[in-house]
Structure 1
Amino acid sequence: MSTRKLFATLIGINNYMSNALRGCVKDVLEIDALLREICAQQQSPLEYTPLYLLAPNQADEERISKLPVPIQYEAPTFAHITQKAFSHLKQAQPGDICVLFYSGHGSQIKAPAEFSHLKSDGQNETLVCVDSRDPASQSRDLIDKELAYLIWDALEGKDVHCLVIMDCCHSGNNMRAIATEDEELRYRMEAPSAVQAPLDQYLGFNDPRNFYEPKNGKASIKIARYVQLSSAQDFEKAAETRAGGLFTSRLIPFLRAGGTARSYRSIIQNLAVTVTGRYAQQHPVISATRKEDEDLQFLGADLIPYQASYEVRYDFSKENWILHGGAMHGITPSTGGADTLVKIMGVDQTIKITQTGATTSVLDKAGMAAFDNSREDYKAVIVQMAGARLNIGLAQSLQADAGMMAALQAAYEKAAPFYLDLDFHGQREVHDYLIRLTAEKAYLFTASDSDVPLFARTEDAAQFLGDAEQIGRWCSVAEMRNVDTTIKDTDFVFTLEIIEGEDLGAANADELPGTPIPLRPDEEIRLRYRHEKAPGFRLSVALADNATLTECFIGVLYLGSKYGIAEGLIDASASRLVKGGAPITLQFINPDTGKEQHTIPVNMDELYYTYGINEITDLLKIFVSTQPLQLSSFEQEELPLETPLTRGIGFAKKSVAVDNDVNWTIFTNHIRITGVSSNLTPSTPKKIAL
């Protein structure tokens, strides 16, 4: 039996002749790394077979030269995209997976009269190849109907799972943009093509299988079976930022944070919140030939969802196998009652973690005895985590529905969540959380003493558990600390200013007056809406003159009230704090201006007011370490809010060992935000109908 394969055609175009972009090749490298890791983590062999069509700039070329796995690429010309890109996918056999990823400019072209009945604006959408607008070339844009033909030609009649991802303008119906004065935010859109193509010049027009089906002066096309995730609707622009395409830069972290276990519909629903929140004129969309395919799991239900992996090396000086991940990555040590277990990728064997330090962990030596200690390519994923998990009971309404119970139990066994402990058999008398079932047969997650959901209800058991797991992870991060540190809070000077009653979206937000407030590490920050305007704060951290440390590294996690975790408030390249040097000030990318600012705005979702909540609490966790920090693995998007949150974390404090050469600690400042209405209190949430 032949090995199952994942065929990926990955197209990224930065180096256009005019209107060059900067994040498209980065987008490709990010999705490439994720797909490669997903394939490596499967128990049954899944061979990764990529094809790269790239137009890199100088910075991209340097990035490509440093990749751990060398890649070979060709130019994304019209000829290469229309021929090589799809002949690559055409190799797929039944049971294989195909991924087509495009990151670059999108545009439009006047549609032939035969398609006038399909589009009221008279335009077809296009992909702009690297040579499409080259006057010396005979090339043109690739038209959306031609793209549909090429996919159909490659996959028609095959039982292949196909995913198409488009990060470009006008991508919602094609089966990035002229640079603005704002260098922080630009759009992936080229001007409409001046080249007109009649229908008889469309790719596939002469295919004897009659793809375009012209009849009575009108044409319709055949569609292969695939799912498409698009960065924007067909009439919208798609933005790119310094981190890459806005859509892709949100998609990849979401998939890495558990999103590969979600359905395509759930993925787009979550991205719609975060992308549109950053750029209000861009709305990600999903389409599928068969509507039911929108509810398929990412890349198919038979794949093991992605998990973060860690390098494993033998340390000859310590005579131990070391996993390069520790407490600062959220890994807990094995205890007397439970083990933290890892699986070495490609090997059907689990190994216990015996000790956990700040950035590394020690693996059980006996379990690793058969491994080659000279190899440097071992990687491991966590398969079981010791420590406190959310104690969750099942309401009578759910237990009475055999079908919904069976779906939940099957999803739970497949996902094997780290942070959830569902009491399916009623063995515990007391539960901290409860899963209820609504009259519409949707799962609802609440505290056991409340009927107020902690996130929006859903009928999808896998999506529900993914959302609940995110709460468990949030709670785990909220309780992180190091009891063995020698770092003192008196080693630091926190300088806080609060800004209330001002327009924090203004370009001059950092020039707005602030009120200095004395603040110590772990003290609460109080903020209040004034004049119906959201508050904000500025915070800088410096080493005190009498600090025992001479230098350290600072990182920040912002834990929002809707269970999102954000990491980017300190630039990792400027995180070193030196005694007697300049302080480190938190920063924020203003979504309206695309510029960095030091004024951090905070806000309350207006839905809180609807249910009688006028006060919420966010958490600001400030990490301090004697070694550089990498906290991006903690990031997760916020959950959609249905009703007010009334949470009890319920975790015991964690006590973790530390590496001998790493000293670290965490300061946690609660940020209490009081909203507009003085008539509402946190203790009077309205109930909702189940």
Structure 2
Amino acid sequence: MATLYALLVSIDKYPIPRHRLRGCSNDRAEMNGFLKRYAKAQGMSYKGKMLSNKTAKRQDIIDGFQHFKAATSGDCCLFYYSGHGSQAKAPQEFWNNPTGLNESIVCYDSRLADGRDLMDKELAYLIWEATQNKGIHFVSIMDCCHSGSATRTLVKERYRSVEANNKSVELEDYYGYSTYFKDHLTPPGGRHVHLAASADYELAKEKYLDHSDRGVFTYCLLQVLQQGGTFQSYEELMHRTRIKVTGTTTQQHPQLELVGTNGSTGFLGRKTTKGLSYLISYDRPTNRWLLQAGAVQNIVPSQPDFSTTLALEDGTVVTVVRVHAHQSEVSGMEGKDPDQQYAAQLQRNATPPLSIGIDPNLPQNLKDVLTQNLEDYPTIMVHEDLLSPKYLVQYWKDALVLVRPGEKIPVFKRVPVRKTDQEDTDVFLQRVAAVAQWEGLLLHYNPNSAIHQDDIRIEISLESCDGQSKAEVVTDPTVPVILPYCRQTGEWQKPKFRLRIVNENPYANYWVSAVYLSSTFGIDNQYLRKQRLPARQEVWMTYLENGQFKMQFEAFVNSAYLKWGINRISDYIKIFVSTDEALDTDSFLQEDLDLDFGPARGIHKAIGKPSQANDTSGWMVRDVELAIQGPDWEVPVTDHQFNHLPGLSIKGSEKLIAKASLTDYRSAETAFQQAIPNCLTEHKDRPVPISPGLIQSNGLHVLELYHLNDRNLVNTENPIQVKLNRADEQSVILPFGYDRANGAFYRVGYSNGSGMVLLESLPTATPTEKRKSKDGSIKVFFQQIDKELDLRSRTSLADAKLV
């Protein structure tokens, strides 16, 4: 049986009155209780050693590390400290730090006569001493400051930091100095994971939380651990903890430090599991076991042929039998202690999984490993028909990639794999599961809401380009809110906006949360985690900057998009509204995915049948799509040379003067004020993006020409030449204009079969964005046609109108 060894140190009652704290002993007691329960659930033996106040002198803590001496391979060791952090004068040999100070923890006797802090380098040696030549997992958790502020108290918050210790300590007096690497004076390092309460320039705080004084970091960390964080990697654990901390206090950002290990390891070395984690507890008034998640969190009741199930840490499988707004009833908890709370991992949810296809060219042994690992990912389903799945798994040069059918850009960074390595494919599937979570949340809503739509008003204020004119206000948007860059004094300016939520109901109070879905599959609620919205009141999305909450957001298109010829992306904001304070959107959170050459998801919004829960209750979801329109690519059109846009080059007809840029279908539809049908649909051909962007989303399908001196200069004998970079031997690309009156396309030129498109006539101008031309623009669409249709000749379909 493995053993969990824990050394837990807390100091509240420092001998100097102005140094005293209130919440450290509470923190240590809560941490000790959690570790006991965790060890029991894992079938581990627990051996904890407590040091507090007078028993936590410097030498006591050093001696306390002997507690880890009995640990052997397979055991876990944890050092926890709650108290003051500070800095102390460093020996001259360590003055590579410009402050001349080393970081330290303040022991009970550190500020007494002849007292000393326990230095960070001494702690590093103690950890090395405990872990050397052992196969043990070591984690240190420090709820203290690492800065040298002399500030002591606030009305509602106390800082866990005291003034620096200016006593000189000789290098030879550092504990473990004899083992230091003398060439660069550093102690030997032991493999371990370090969880810190704050960055080294910040203050760790304690507050009055849940009827007692607590350290903010320890309080939030234990909340996350007790709500399924033990299933997650250290990176995921600290991400969720960081969000909770920043929602509880300001200017404190917990840090994860890794020495000789990686952040993908699970808590206390356990293997991470897949899926979301929740808490199950017993409700005595109703005699039911309740999962602390419900329809708002997208939990779906079990169906006759498909169950929603969760697994406890001991392997027990429980089934969701009924779903309410924020809780769900479960079965299968027979024999469990009603006084204990249980972390549970979502195994399977009775919602449609994300459909993926596997490219038949995938090596068979890799396909076998991938198929085997898919059993652990219930949110992903393999679809045999390669034309039907939402995404496709392909194999590119010893790496797995996920693409949309017909596209050539991975939706996240390719994952190098060895053909029989399960860990590599598991990393890939974890990222696919994140895509599935994002897609599922995008479709999430409550079809049976008891809250009337008119109760809630959403307003987005679009700031003017010059910052002086009155802002444009978009109310309750049902179409994408366009956020265009604008040109001011010759420079492109990023669009700015504010978002507020107004409760129009004169009697009802609500709780609201805003969940931000980024174009790179990240999910975050930091801008409005949860806030009470009283009757006839309003709340704003905000962010914290330099200690102040600000409401004005700046939207931007990452420069990495330019490599793909993409200048328009869409992010989404889901507004959750509930009558119940139990509203919780933390379970949705996930970090953005790294993509191959920078972020590039695009503007495609998934459409499908959403999951429906059997709950008619006081919650609803409202969606806002933000379409961020980046700077335009614009080139002059002349008759003496080709000028380049992303994906094409263009040369004008003789004497023609114009400007050219690219746009997408959605912008063109906005200009036409009507939907544009896909032409030649009977042949299943599709509009072709000019740029190498995302075909299904925001590839730039439309060439715009404006500021023309004379459109009649373009004719059969004097065409505009457009050379596309996307030559395809199996198809040909034809140019079309669009007739708004008839709702039909008509051809305006032909292709010579080698990527050159000749425009022999131009359609009339139609409205375009004012930042391009107030007189409108001529729009040319491009269609990819199979060669077998024989549409290459200049005479075939010359007069055809294609619907």
TM-score by length of 1: 0.72
Counterpart CA distance in 1 for 2:289 and 2:238 is 40
Cα deviation, residue 304, structure 1: 5.1
Cα deviation, residue 565, structure 1: 2.0
**8 A Cα contact 1:7 1:92, kept in partner:** no
Cα deviation, residue 271, structure 1: 11
| Partner SS, residue 575 of structure 1 | strand
Give a deviation string over 1:389-446, Cα, whole Å, max 9, x none.
111223356x3173x5566556545xx23422346xx58763211233332x333222
Cα deviation, residue 96, structure 1: 0.9
Q: Report matched runs for 1:168-317 at 5 Å.
A: 176-178=147-149, 193-204=165-176, 211-212=179-180, 221-228=187-194, 237-238=201-202, 286-289=257-260, 296-297=265-266, 299-300=268-269, 302=271, 308-313=277-282
Counterpart CA distance in 2 for 1:419 and 1:147 is 43
Please name the residue that 2:579 is paired with: 626
**8 A Cα contact 1:455 1:639, kept in partner:** yes
**8 A Cα contact 2:227 2:278, kept in partner:** no
Root mean square deviation of aligned Cα: 5.0
Residue 154 in structure 1 maps to residue 109 in structure 2: no
The AA in structure 2 aligned to 1:125 is N
Please name the residue that 2:631 is paired with: 676
1:667 aligned to 615, 622, 625, which one? 622
Counterpart CA distance in 2 for 1:140 and 1:112 is 17
Give a deviation string over 1:332-353, Cα, whole Å, max 9, x none.
122244210133554x442322
Counterpart CA distance in 2 for 1:240 and 1:345 is 32
1:90 aligned to 60, 63, 69, which one? 69
The AA in structure 1 aligned to 2:567 is N
Q: Which has the higher strand share?
A: 2
Which segment is superposed worse, 600-609 or 615-624? Answer: 600-609
Counterpart CA distance in 2 for 1:27 and 1:406 is 48
**8 A Cα contact 2:107 2:118, kept in partner:** no
Percentage of matched positions with identical amino acids? 23
| Structure number with higher relative contact order (C-alpha < 8 Å, ≥ 6 residues apart) | 1
Residue 473 in structure 1 maps to residue 437 in structure 2: yes
The AA in structure 2 aligned to 1:299 is L
Cα deviation, residue 148, structure 1: 2.5
Distance change (3 Å), C-alpha of 1:301 and 1:310? closer
| Partner SS, residue 607 of structure 1 | helix
Please name the residue that 1:657 is paired with: 614
Counterpart CA distance in 2 for 1:120 and 1:584 is 48
Cα deviation, residue 557, structure 1: 1.6
**Which of 1 and 2 has greater Rg?**
2
Distance change (3 Å), C-alpha of 1:349 and 1:145? closer
Which segment is superposed worse, 678-687 or 451-460? Answer: 678-687
Counterpart CA distance in 1 for 2:342 and 2:140 is 29
Give a deviation string over 1:308-338, Cα, whole Å, max 9, x none.
2323436765x76543421112211222442
Please name the residue that 1:66 is paired with: none
2:306 aligned to 338, 341, 345, which one? 338
Q: Report matched runs for 1:584-623 at 5 Å.
A: 584-591=538-545, 593-623=546-576
Give a deviation string over 1:510-554, Cα, whole Å, max 9, x none.
xx8761414126454332233434333333333336x7x633332
Residue 363 in structure 1 maps to residue 330 in structure 2: yes
Please name the residue that 2:44 is paired with: 46
| Partner SS, residue 609 of structure 1 | helix
Cα deviation, residue 179, structure 1: 7.4
The AA in structure 2 aligned to 1:634 is F
**8 A Cα contact 1:238 1:246, kept in partner:** no
Cα deviation, residue 586, structure 1: 1.5
Residue 351 in structure 1 maps to residue 318 in structure 2: yes
Distance change (3 Å), C-alpha of 1:242 and 1:407? farther
**8 A Cα contact 2:104 2:118, kept in partner:** yes
Cα deviation, residue 616, structure 1: 1.6
**8 A Cα contact 2:5 2:67, kept in partner:** no
Give a deviation string over 1:628-668, Cα, whole Å, max 9, x none.
12222222222234341145535421211216xx4221111
Please name the residue that 1:538 is paired with: 498
Counterpart CA distance in 2 for 1:360 and 1:388 is 21
**8 A Cα contact 1:258 1:305, kept in partner:** no
2:446 aligned to 459, 482, 485, which one? 482
2:601 aligned to 627, 645, 665, which one? 645
Distance change (3 Å), C-alpha of 1:30 and 1:561? farther
**8 A Cα contact 2:520 2:600, kept in partner:** no
Counterpart CA distance in 1 for 2:495 and 2:33 is 39
Cα deviation, residue 189, structure 1: 8.0
1:127 aligned to 86, 100, 104, which one? 104
Cα deviation, residue 196, structure 1: 2.0
Give a deviation string over 1:11-53, Cα, whole Å, max 9, x none.
69899977999999999899889867865664xx135555666
Counterpart CA distance in 1 for 2:368 and 2:268 is 23
Number of residue pairs matched? 616
Distance change (3 Å), C-alpha of 1:555 and 1:99? same
Which segment is superposed worse, 627-636 or 374-383? Answer: 374-383
The AA in structure 2 aligned to 1:649 is A
Counterpart CA distance in 1 for 2:663 and 2:27 is 44
The AA in structure 1 aligned to 2:338 is R
Distance change (3 Å), C-alpha of 1:328 and 1:411? same
Please name the residue that 2:401 is paired with: 444
Q: Report matched runs for 1:111-122 at 5 Å.
A: 111=91, 113=93
Residue 525 in structure 1 maps to residue 481 in structure 2: yes
TM-score by length of 2: 0.63
| Partner SS, residue 480 of structure 1 | coil
**8 A Cα contact 1:475 1:651, kept in partner:** no
Please name the residue that 2:463 is paired with: 499
Cα deviation, residue 575, structure 1: 0.9
Cα deviation, residue 474, structure 1: 1.6
**8 A Cα contact 2:190 2:259, kept in partner:** no
**8 A Cα contact 2:323 2:329, kept in partner:** yes
Counterpart CA distance in 2 for 1:14 and 1:650 is 60
Counterpart CA distance in 2 for 1:677 and 1:28 is 57
**8 A Cα contact 2:280 2:289, kept in partner:** no
**8 A Cα contact 2:89 2:101, kept in partner:** yes
| Partner SS, residue 127 of structure 2 | helix
Distance change (3 Å), C-alpha of 1:265 and 1:474? closer
Please name the residue that 1:379 is paired with: 342
Give a deviation string over 1:458-512, Cα, whole Å, max 9, x none.
3444433333222211222211111112322222333432224479xxxxxxxx8
The AA in structure 2 aligned to 1:310 is L
Distance change (3 Å), C-alpha of 1:47 and 1:461? farther
| Partner SS, residue 615 of structure 2 | coil
| Partner SS, residue 328 of structure 1 | helix
**8 A Cα contact 2:245 2:252, kept in partner:** no
Please name the residue that 2:79 is paired with: 100
| Partner SS, residue 540 of structure 1 | strand
The AA in structure 2 aligned to 1:309 is Y
Distance change (3 Å), C-alpha of 1:599 and 1:357? same
**8 A Cα contact 2:234 2:264, kept in partner:** yes
| Partner SS, residue 338 of structure 2 | coil
Distance change (3 Å), C-alpha of 1:131 and 1:557? same
Distance change (3 Å), C-alpha of 1:586 and 1:444? same
Cα deviation, residue 245, structure 1: 10
